[in-house]
Amino acid sequence: MIKRLYSLFGGKSWTLGVLLLFLVGLFLRLYKILETTTFLGDQGRDAIIMKSIVTFQNLPALGPITSVGSIYLGPLYYYVMSPWLLLFGFDPIGPAVGVAVLASTALILQFLVVKDMINKETALISVFFSTFSWALIEYSRFSWNPNLLPQVALFSVYTLYKAVRTKKLKYFILHGLLLSLAVQLHYLALFLLPLSGFVLLYQLFIDQRSEPEVHRPLGEIALWAKKLSALIASFIAPLSPFILFEIIHSFPNSRSVLRFTQENTGANTTPFYNELFDTLQNCYRYVLQFMPSPNLTIVVALILLGLFVYGLKKDKSIAYILGSFFALIIGVSLYKGPKYTHYLGGTYLLLHIAIGYVLASIIKARRITGLVLTMLAVFLYISMQVPKYYFLHEREHQNQVDRARTIAQMVIDLEPRLPYTFTSSPEAYADYPARYFLDVMGKKPIEKEQDSYIPTKELFVFCEKECNPMDDPQWAIAHFNPKKITNIKTNSKYPEFKVYKLTK
């Protein structure tokens, strides 16, 4: 068993190296996760939906709403992560731990994938970067749909590579499933689709030309049609609830996407090459932990482009990696808005592999291992500075899960009578985390979408800062009339918190 494990990873030292990085990565993603995990409006809303799935109260056809354009994603993320909520007894830390464990386990899979595609030296160096990357660690410590996109994007590239090389049906099916998951994590993953389509159709064309007409198997096109059909079916199947919702409701998301695309195109006249430069510069900044100069940004882009051209001629594996990297970079560049860290998530592992490829080549060609080790040490030193590894340095943390639980208990202490309305001020959607705990505690308020339709006799308003619920323009508060404040609840643990009980 041990020998088989060593053989899988390429030897004893390689196995121990990967396992060590996995354990370090797991520690960096789980250490003080309860105190530091993000549990805000998005996470509270997601936890409510995940709970409804595992208790069979609701099987949603839509996933999370995006931050722009009122566009919804597919629901697959909810179904993948909801078992973690059940496993942790409905404690919302469960999905956060699930993301951390999956992202850490992906470090091992990343090594195996890159070792199979390129070599074990590139694989180990890339895993080193991924283990200590601030961006990957930060987005592995809480539950949110874009957080697993880096790993899913890499594995989708790998299955495309294997599908073309081996022609095995299982890789076509896996590629379709991973692409479906990727686009349900973030819409920017859609730019992997034309790349996959081009590669597969080009390979079909090459295969057809490589055989003389008289020797060409009559069923070759039929076999390719079968494999491509399986890929398409495996892509559509996880999206089927979303697609059915679109058909039944006259394609509301498709219309929102079209409207947002038109508005995004016309609202900003910045030239595309400026957006492309901005995207590349931000990508390097998130990966390398410092803002590169304009000249360095261009030089690195030219090196990567040269490496891609070299790969097309000499090493197809790195061409797959960089082709996918550039496809995602172009996709993000088409969005003429701020280039947030998670928008570029799909590129990080691909860039780590490209950097690992260059460094591994330097070691093999020049045998200057010391220089490479020095560069890795510098990257590690920069990564571990405050505030990037804040969970290692800071003693006090936000404890957002505990804060939400406390707010819910404050509401319950005011003895709400069902049905009742609950909201927060001034931010109307900051109440979702507490809503989740109220649901778990058996005192679920009416849903936010029903605030204006179901009349209630009690309204509870949570204020994290000073607010005046008697004169608040928010719909749920302003239309609760006539009203009077009958009680105010405070908490010694969080003295800034107040929950107002209003009655008619």
Q: How far is 226 from 89, CA to CA, in rounded Å?
A: 44
How high is the mean pLDDT in each 10-residue block of the chain (504 residues)? 84 92 96 95 95 95 82 94 97 97 97 96 95 94 96 97 94 97 93 94 79 56 87 96 91 84 66 90 87 90 94 93 96 86 94 94 76 81 77 86 96 94 89 96 86 81 89 86 91 92 93
245 is written with which tokens?
């919702």
500 is written with which tokens?
């107002």
Predicted pLDDT of residue 218: 53
Predicted pLDDT of residue 452: 58
Three-class secondary structure assignment of 426-451: CCCCCCHHHHHHHHHCCCCCCCHHHC
Torsion of CA 316, 5, 122, 146, to 10 degrees: 80
Whether 322 contacts 304, CB under 8 Å:
yes
CA dist list (Å): 184 to 61, 252, 280, 340: 12, 16, 24, 18
Predicted pLDDT of residue 215: 52
Q: How many C-beta neighbours within 10 Å does residue 243 have?
A: 14
Predicted pLDDT of residue 139: 95
Predicted pLDDT of residue 214: 47
pTM metric for this prediction:
0.92
Whether 392 contacts 137, CB under 8 Å:
no
The 10 Å CB-count burial string (b at 16+, else e) for 86-99 is eeeebbbbbbbbbb
Predicted pLDDT of residue 357: 95
- Going by C-alpha positions, the residue among 305, 268, 497, 320 that lies closest to residue 399 is 497
